[in-house]
Amino acid sequence: MPELPEVETIRRGLDQFILRKHVQTVQVFCDKSFIGPKEVIFGQEIIAIRRFGKALIFDFSNGVSMMVHLRMTGQLIFRAFGEESGKDYREMIEAGDFKTSLYDEKSFAGGHPTDSFFSELPNKQTRVLFTLENGTLYFNDQRKFGFCKVLETSEVMQDSFIKKLAKEPWQMSVAEFSKNLARHKNAEIKPTILDQTVIAGLGNIYADEALFLAKIHPERLTGSLSETEISDLLEAAKSVMQASIDSGGSTMATYVKADGTRGDYLQKFAQVFRREGEPCNRCGTEIIKIKVAGRGTHLCPHCQKKIL
């Protein structure tokens, strides 16, 4: 689930709660969710929380780091001691009092939005539990595609995933984006921009949103884009992801209500994603949903023409 804006929101949230805290113990409930020796981080202080694309890196005081990738259904939830039931947050949400901040003083949640955000933890989807000096960090992951991986801090940049990542759109020039796109001139543009070695950070939501904003049909061949369209697409990628980061990504407060229904975040932000059947905000044409490279894809057939 989580794309760059959600992961960045988690990074910022966890900075508030667990930076400079010590890890006391780690409990692993699913072996495939935790790679490497957990004991090496026992007693260690978290000295930095970094993000590369959709991956988070926790650096510890002994030269060890832990990479966390949430993939499709990962969540990171922090609860101060005494807040394991999630009750306070649930009450706050039910009272409609969740617009003041992304988190209160006692808990924070981010990642794949489910009612685990408000439920008693640990639960069936809890794969790893970190006991810190001030509370508990839960790594939940319904589909088990995500992972936590221990490695040396000095080896982070050599990690097979990290080292292949392209720049994020804010650091990338049009020339470099253009060059990376050129490697895939015979592929459709949507799967091309989902490739993290072409540009880092976009996932299924923000790819659809960026293509809509740049008025490019997702099935256009990459090689058919003009220089102007390439430039517009890069700007659109920055714009849609920055807007999401600025509004706090998809944290529980804005994303899922206590009853499990979707909150107002996507409805407010999304122009096309999960809006099939609704009118385009730009031209009024009905948004459609198709399948592109195996992924559900949303677009306005009037604003995004396949053939120019």
- Convert residues 175-204 into a mask of x (bound to DNA by CB under 7 A) and - (unbound): --------xxxxxx--xx-x-x------xx
Q: How far apart are CA 210 and CA 218, in angstroms?
A: 10
CA 299, distance to chain mean position in Å, is: 21
Catalytic residue among 12, 38, 54, 127: 54
As measured in angstroms, the least distance from the Cβ of 182 to DNA is 8
From the list 42-50, 99-107, 228-236, 290-298, the region that binds DNA by CB under 7 A is 290-298
Decide if 289 is catalytic: no
Torsion over CA: 146, 219, 6, 83 (sign): negative
What is the DSSP secondary-structure string of 94-138?
HTT--SS-S--SSEEEEES-SGGGTS-SS-TTEEEEEEESSEEEE
**Which helix (H) or strand (E) element contains residue 23?**
strand 23-28
Contact, 43 vs 21, CB < 8 A?
no
Nearest 10 degrees: CA dihedral of 137, 133, 149, 49? 90
Our finding on whether 168 is near DNA (CB under 7 A) is no
Q: Which is nearer to DNA, 132 or 230 (CB)?
A: 230
User: From DNA, Zn ion, none, which one binds at residue 161 (CB under 5 to 8 Å depending on kind)?
Assistant: DNA
Residues that bind DNA (CB under 7 A): 1-3, 5-6, 32, 53-54, 69, 71-72, 113, 124-125, 142-145, 160-161, 164, 183-188, 191-192, 194, 196, 203-205, 222, 249-250, 255, 266, 291, 293-296
Residues that bind Zn ion (CB under 5 A): 280, 282-283, 285, 300, 302-303
Q: Which residues are catalytic?
A: 2-3, 54, 295
